Amino acid sequence: MKLHCIAILNRQDSPVYLRNFDTPSDDVKYHSLAYTSCDVIEERMASSKSNDLFLGLLQTVEELSVYGYVLNTGVRIILVLSVPESMVRSSSVREMFQQIHAAYIAMVCNPFNEELDGLSNAKFESIISELSRIHSETK
């Protein structure tokens, strides 16, 4: 399982953070993937009766799977993974989302975090990099 991209969008669906672990030229591709997933997220949130933050698999494009997670404030986190033949367990994706959620909270709680758009913070970046490193071994 390889982690390709993490995107964080706010309630109005404008991007707050996007980190692409492949070549920078793929940025556009991941931006458009994130936007197309927004509609699916809205749909899922409307139809889901449980208060689960994890939205599950939103869509698959070629060999990439897109997973979604929404925070209580309406902020959406989107993960783009490439999954080889073996299925990926949703519990491990859920766990990844929870780690990102915790890192996001820590970043937002920092009193020196001035603007809420365009977040970037050394600790947050290092946690995300660590996550991508752990999940970049193709099994």
Partner 1 sequence: MEKQYKTIGEDAWKNNVEKVNAELFIFTYGSLVVQLVKDYEDYAAVNKQLDKMGYNIGVRLVDDIMARTSLERCSGFTATAEVISKVGFKLFLNVAPSVASWSADGKEFSLIVDDNPLNDFCELPPKAVQDGLWYSNVLCGVIRGALEMMQMQTEVEFVRDVLRGDDTSEIRVRLLRMLDEEVPASDD
Out of 10, 59, 121, 132, which residue is the one contacting partner 1 (CB under 8 A)?
Answer: 121
Name the one range near partner 1 by CB under 8 A: 18-26, 72-80, 106-114, 127-135.
106-114
Query: Is the distance from CB of 77 to CB of 14 less than 8 angstroms?
Result: no
Closest CA to 123 of 135, 134, 133, 113: 113
Q: Give the helix ranges, DSSP H, for 23-121.
A: 27-47, 90-109
CB of 66 to partner 1, least distance (A): 30
Determine if 132 is a binding residue for partner 1 (CB under 8 A): no
Q: To the nearest whole angstrom, how small is the minimum distance from the Cβ of residue 127 to partner 1? A: 12
How many other C-beta atoms lie within 10 A of the C-beta of residue 64?
A: 17
Which parts of this chain interact with partner 1 (CB under 8 A)? 106, 109-113, 121-123
